[in-house]
Amino acid sequence: MFCYLFGPSGPAAVVALGRAWLAILLMVGWLLAPVASALVPAQTHQHSQSTVAASFSLNEAEPIQYICPMHSHITSEEPGTCPICGMDLVPQRPQSHQQPQAQVSSAMQQSMGVRTAVASHTTLWRYLVTQGQVQWNDNARHHVHARASGWIERLHVRSEGQTVSQGQLLYEIYSRELVVAQQDYLQASSLLMQQSSQQVSQQSSPQSAQRLLNDSRLRLELLGFAPHLIEQLEQRQEILYRVPVFAPKAGVVTQLNSAQGMYVEPGLEIMTITGTDQLWLEADVPEQYSHWFSQGTPADITIAQLGLTDYETSVSYVYPELDVRSRSQRLRIELPAKPGLLVGMQAKVELFGGPKREVLAVPLASLIVTGDSHGSGSNRVLVQTDDNTFVQRPVEVGLIVGDQAEIIAGLAAGERVVVSGQFLLDSEATLQGMHNNVNKQEAADAHQHH
């Protein structure tokens, strides 16, 4: 047969056979073309419907959050990296109403160091420890001014911090106004003596001369002339050209604004003397605790460098303003003068604001503070529902005192919260919730394609 095909007549037979097979194939294609055209549009339409349904499902979904796999409290509304560990944030689909939970075996809990505590009712005492600083008593300040213009001839106080006693000589001043006032007083005194020894008319009676003398004396007193200097002037009948000025009270010169030979006027404060019988201790209280305390609140003071421990006193004044920089409010406590007590010393201040009874409280260590992209914060805890199950639970926190926190909403008495290892459990619960949501979404997508 091989010889027959490739003999003299073989090539012609092969060409004829090829043409026959080509005709058969063309006929089969013509017959199947209507069926193929009917199938392709149906498949295309079905795929288009699935794409539209999936697109609609995604558009209707809530905004996706991005969360750090290692730090579940780091969330964002946009893709990015964790500011703590640098890992890429993982997209998290909207969670269901069921709180995320983690399943952890007892052996794993032991290796993670998980510890729990029971939420229970207790009494929280409003107690705050802060720092205070010893200050001058502003109520004991006395400003020394010149009552008449003139020159300071001699200044006997040369520096701030100098201690003076009541009646101590401060400075001597020459003032023309004081000289004239002394002359007027001497003239009135001389006139009264003359009228008392002679019989004069009613218009110049001794009563009018006495009135003139009293006015002259009052003028000297108002100009700062000491009473004993007036008596000396009346006895000696000699004018003082350098008038001495004495300390009105004992204390420390806390401000000195003059120098010897200086010209002074009534508006100038020459010096300030502050009494030392009592000092102030001013303490700052953070804004969130300012409503705890008021005038009369008990306080204990400790100044270690003086050996003063737990000195019992009370708040004498609460300043009616808040420091805009430190966001704190000042309290004042009065301290009696003690040997070695100096302005500027630091003191430990313990404030007792009273009890708040029958509050539901948990250890402060159990709280997990979270925040969103806008900076607002919330709190949650990990609640142990059984031996191996831990559930995330948002809570509302009230009073925080020491290592205890009041729970206003979100917990019930008797529930156990995690106080150690809660951050690992929280991350596990968050990732488990993400995994469950992804599985639900994949199942929904698969159902749409079917």
Other Cβ atoms within 10 Å of 89 Cβ, number: 19
Q: What is the CA radius of gyration of the chain?
A: 48
**CA–CA dist 348, 306 (Å, integer):** 12
Q: How far apart are CA 176 and CA 199, in angstroms?
A: 35
76 to each of 66, 94, 375, how far by Cα in Å? 5, 13, 11
Q: State whether the Cα torsion 358-364-365-367 is positive or negative.
A: positive
Please state, in angstroms and rounded to a whole number, the distance separating the CA atoms of residues 202 and 256: 53
**Ranked by mean pLDDT, which of 7-16, 157-166, 371-380, 415-424 comes out on top?**
157-166
Q: Could you count the other beta carbons within 10 Å of the beta carbon of residue 314?
A: 13
What's the pLDDT tens digit per position in 363-391? 998 888 775 433 345 788 889 888 888 88
Give 193's pLDDT tier (boundaries 50, 70, 90).
Answer: confident
**E strands, 337-388, in order:** 346-363, 368-371, 377-384
Per-residue pLDDT averaged across 98-110, rounded? 77
Tokens matching residue 61 = 């979904």
Angle made by CA atoms 219, 224, 229, in degrees to the nearest 5 = 85
Q: Token pair for residue 1? A: 């047969």
The alpha carbon of 228 is separated from its chain's Cα centroid by a whole number of angstroms, namely 57
Question: Going from the N-terminus, what domains does the chain have, and what CATH number goes with each?
Answer: 100-124+359-449 (2.40.420.20), 126-137+276-354 (2.40.30.170), 146-272 (2.40.50.100)
SS3 350: strand
Lookup result for tokens 């005709």: 23
Angle, alpha carbons 30-33-39 (nearest 5°): 165
pLDDT at 267 over 70: yes
pLDDT single digits (tens) 318-345: 999 999 999 999 999 999 988 889 999 9
Nearest-angstrom CA–CA distance, 119 and 363: 8
